[in-house]
Structure 1
Amino acid sequence: MTGTTLTTADLDPHRRRILFRAWHRGIREMDLILGQFADTELKTLEGEELAEFERVLGEDDNDLFKWVSGEKPLPEHLKTPLFERILAFRPEEAFKPVV
């Protein structure tokens, strides 16, 4: 089970692959952050925003988590409106301790 709430029936193959990558990260916290963001925003991303989201998905999960959590400063290449939307989206479930 991925956790996704978005049906892939209405998505083109390219967006299906992006959704899969967003929900199948190296660490569960990033699954929740990027996967839930993709569930909500993927259908509306176009052109450069879609390409940028793919580049974000190419980043190392440990680094991404440190940037999202504020443990490490955000690098210049991620200081973009799209990444700001990802930061603002942060679902609380991603930060609950696993029991």
Structure 2
Amino acid sequence: MDYFNKTSLTKKLLYQSKNRGCKEIGLILGKFAEKFLANMDAANLADFALILNQNDIDIYDWITSKTAPPSHLNSKVMLQILSFDINNIEA
């Protein structure tokens, strides 16, 4: 992936992370993206994009450990999201 495409995709994913239907998920994924997105390789960016295409309520359930994510979403990025410290997020 060349620099221009990665930069464009990174901006798109950051926007999608912050602007969710559910404010809480937007805060969590937005802060996660701000912290980790710039250092992701192409495979991790693709995994993150796949996660962002899921319903907010499902993502919320996974983050709060109410349910486990489906096996096709198990990735390094999903593990990072699930272990992301949401207690220190400020709006």
Structure 2, unpaired ranges of 5+: 1-5
CA RMSD of aligned residues (A): 1.6
1:63 equivalent to 2:68? Answer no
Deviation per CA, 1:4-36: give whole Å up to 9, x if none.
xxxxxxx82221111100000111111111101
Match of 1:24 in 2: 19
Counterpart check, 1:15 vs 2:19: no
Equivalent residue for 1:35? Answer: 30
Q: Distance in 1 between matches of 2:58 and 2:88?
A: 19
On the 8 A contact 2:17/2:52 being kept in 1, the answer is yes
In the alignment of these two chains, the number of paired residues is 84
The alignment's TM-score, normalised by the length of structure 1, stands at 0.77
> What residue is the counterpart of 2:76 in the other structure?
81
CA distance in 2, matches of 1:71, 1:93: 20
Asked whether the equivalents of residues 32 and 93 of structure 1 are also in contact (C-alpha less than 8 Å), the reply is no
TM-score normalised over the length of structure 2: 0.83
Offset at 1:75?
Answer: 1.3
Look up the equivalent residue of 2:37 and give its one-letter code. L
Structure 1 residue runs of 5 or longer lacking an equivalent are 1-10, 95-99
Q: Do the aligned residues in 2 keep the contact of 1:33 with 1:90 (CA within 8 Å)?
A: no
